[in-house]
Amino acid sequence: MNAIINLKTIKTEKLTDAFQLFNELSQNLSDSYQELQKQVATLSTELSLARTERLKSLIEKENLADRLQQILAALPAAVVILDAQNRVIDCNAMAISFLGEPLIGQNWSDVIRRSLIAVFDNPHERQLRNGKRVSITRNNLSSGKGQVVLLSDVSELRSLQDTVNQQKHLSAMGEMVASMAHQVRTPLSTAILYASQMNKQQLPDHSRIKFSNKILERLQYLERQVNDMLIFAKEGRLEMDGFSLQQFLQQVNDNMQDLIASSNVRFKINNKVSIDYMLGNDDALLGAVMNLLNNAVEVLGNEGQISVTVEQKNQAILQIKIQDDGPGIDAKTQQRLFEPFYTTKVKGTGLGLAVVDSVVRAHSGSIECQSKKGCGALFILQLPCINQYITTFSEENGRQQMESNYETV
């Protein structure tokens, strides 16, 4: 009997423990559920906020894209977007106005050939079919898989620059006329004086020859002055045509032979350019080169060496280097070398190097002087005179580089 009672007691205690454990588990489950509900509520709130921020960000991006689109449409410049294959993938309305249609999907090289005309005086500008001038700027996209091309109308700016340059030129012309009056009168008076002496019957033959040479020398001086004045008056407006580089250098050599015939000056031309056909004004270039060579001969006196080296710097640039071993030019003088009417000569007009600079700029080129006192002088002319088609043809056919050397001692 006691055993039965003990067994019931044990079962009762176990059942009580089970209910107690069940209650504890139920409480834990209830607490976990409540915690889960709180987390769900928190996540729902965070998700709602994230959706709100995402929606706000999308709205802002759409507004930004709309503003950018309006800005592109309102820009007074043409914007063209190119892909990695150089095809047009996007553009604004001004681009269509400038370049015409079709545009989207077209190769940019084809668009250039169709709508943009090269101008000689500025390699960074093109002319549209309607006559407007545009400057072209290209930049790579940040992704590195394309480019953006910007075409800006510079017609009005070009017109204003031309007006300002014309006013400056007219002012310089007035100064030049005043200076030239004295420079022409002196050699002209000298030539008249010698000419009047040649009429005398008792004048010896050697004196007559001497006077004749003096007259010729003065007339040649006058011719150079007048030629410089005419080129300066043209303000860099020169007619461009094709010419032979070999013939041009031969003319330089012939002129130098006459110039140094009575001296011990040595002269050499080294042509390292394989292409003969050039584009420019050969008469003006000849005058510019001879102007520099005349100056070199004057500073050397009766003895020294002058060299002309002609090289091809890149596909279209002709580089002419004129070097002498004379006394050189100090830094202060170099800064003003190409200013009109600046001269260190007693009888100079200061137009010679200004004319050289004008001719070089008319060819869209540049000139610089490298010199130190006592170490000679080097003038470097960079001229985009090489015809690019001829250059390509020459490279494709593997033509050998030719050198032409003329030397007079």
Name the pairing type of β-strands 264-271 and 303-312: parallel
pLDDT for 402? 32
Residue 281: DSSP 8-state: -
The arrangement of secondary structure in 75-153, i.e. its CATH architecture, is 2-Layer Sandwich (3.30)
Q: Which residues contact 105 (CB under 8 A, 6 or more apart)?
A: 87, 88, 89
Backbone phi and psi for residue 103, each to the nearest 5 degrees, phi listed first: -130, -50
Task: Report the b/e string of 15-41 with b at 16+ CB within 10 A.
Answer: eeeeeeeeeeeeeeeeeeeeeeeeeee
pLDDT for 270? 93
Backbone phi and psi for residue 323, each to the nearest 5 degrees, phi listed first: -130, 140
pLDDT for 399? 34
pLDDT for 228? 64
Q: Which fold does the domain 156-235 belong to in CATH?
A: Helix Hairpins (1.10.287)
384 upstream amide cis, omega within 30 of 0: no
Nearest to 95 by CA among 169, 26, 174, 148: 148
Query: If the chain, 409 residues long, is cut into consecutive pieces of 10 residues, what is the mean pLDDT of each piece?
Result: 69 76 78 81 82 79 67 72 87 83 87 81 76 84 80 79 70 62 67 76 78 78 68 65 91 87 88 90 87 88 89 86 88 76 59 80 87 87 73 37 33
pTM for the predicted model, two decimal places:
0.50
pLDDT for 389? 39
Q: Containing H/E element for 381?
A: strand 377-383
Task: Report the b/e string of 258-267 with b at 16+ CB within 10 A.
Answer: ebbeeeebbb
Contact yes or no for 316/391 (Cβ under 8 A): yes
